[in-house]
Amino acid sequence: MTRRRPPSPGPTRRALLLGGAGALGLGLAGCGLGTSGGFVPSGEAAGPIADIDLSGATIGVGSKNFTEQLILGKMAVILLRAAGAEAPDLTNIPGSSSARQAMIEDQVQMQWEYTGTAWIAYLGETTPIPDEQKQYEAVRDRDLADNQLVWLEPAPMNNTYGFAGPREEIERLGISKLSQLKDVPEEDLTFCVESEFNNRNDGFGPMLKAYGLTRGRSFPDDNVKVLDTGAIYQATDTGTCTFGEVFTTDGRIKALDLVVLEDDKAFFPKYNVAPVLTEQVVDEYPAIVDLFAPVVEELTDEVLIDLNAKVDVEGEDPADVAMEWLQAQGFIAR
């Protein structure tokens, strides 16, 4: 039976990055990561991963505590156990800082991470690299050299910032990308943004400038509504604004039939997700690369939007969602 859970509150990206910082040192000793992994269904490896054998390996799996990370973390636990590894479920770590520290201290040996998060929040860079592959390679090389962490190949999905509008409005305006905003009539240039994005030096104002718009000149200042992240999706759907700030793999995009405008000038940082493992685990069990490779290739924006919606909109449990998808793709048999 599919278990149900309450909808996600939709924390800001800053909260996701910093939410666990105050807990560092309080919950990281021994097994006290403060996680609540819960039940994970099991199955047998099938299809392209059927012959991979990780018997003898013990690989603790961590994740952050928001929907997408929980789904991906459960996938990793299911895959590793299906390949014969011991995979303690340490998912649901509160905050990116705590999750990162757990990896650095070898308390977890695998978790999924985002290239943009690592580059900016962990490695201390301030300027994103617009090209997805080059951004990945820069993170991969630095993290291996500095922290002995191995980044496997990234997924096509990119959970970055974006702007979306109701499908009927986007079709009425005849636009599909952010560079076309400058052609939208002033009365339709209304925006819903969160407070952090509204005030950041790489946020709303610079984005408008990159796309040929100036707040207060291209449209009046009161065309901008500042709302909590979770409220933006509904406000955009109901017409409070034409364009709402979103995360591009959020399940509410599908549920509300919003259309994300293409970031055709590559303004926003890239947040491609990839499995990250300790160097020791990869050296001892190189077959782990082949375990994740075919799965990662299938993780597109559309797939993650659908999976996130199953949890945040339909109320399913992340572990069930992960298992159902792995089975449907032929990676796991039960």
pLDDT of 190-232, one tens digit each?
999 999 889 877 789 999 999 999 999 999 999 999 999 889 9
Phi, psi of 36 (to 5 degrees): -145, 75
**pLDDT band at residue 36 using 50, 70 and 90 as cut-offs:** low
| Structure letter (DSSP) for residue 17 | H
Q: Is the pLDDT of residue 73 over 50?
A: yes
Count the helices and strands in the chain (H runs, E runs): 14, 12
Say what the pLDDT of residue 250 is.
95
**Local confidence band at 150 (pLDDT 50, 70, 90 cut-offs):** very high
248: amino acid identity, one letter: T
Query: What proportion of the chain, given as a percentage, has pLDDT over 70?
Result: 89
Asked if the model's pLDDT at residue 28 lies above 90, the reply is: no
Residue 196 has a pLDDT of: 85
Contacts of 289 (CB under 8 A, 6+ apart): 152, 282
Question: What's the predicted TM-score (pTM) here?
Answer: 0.85
- Do the beta carbons of residue 43 and residue 327 sit within 8 Å? yes
Asked whether the predicted pLDDT for residue 9 surpasses 60, the reply is no
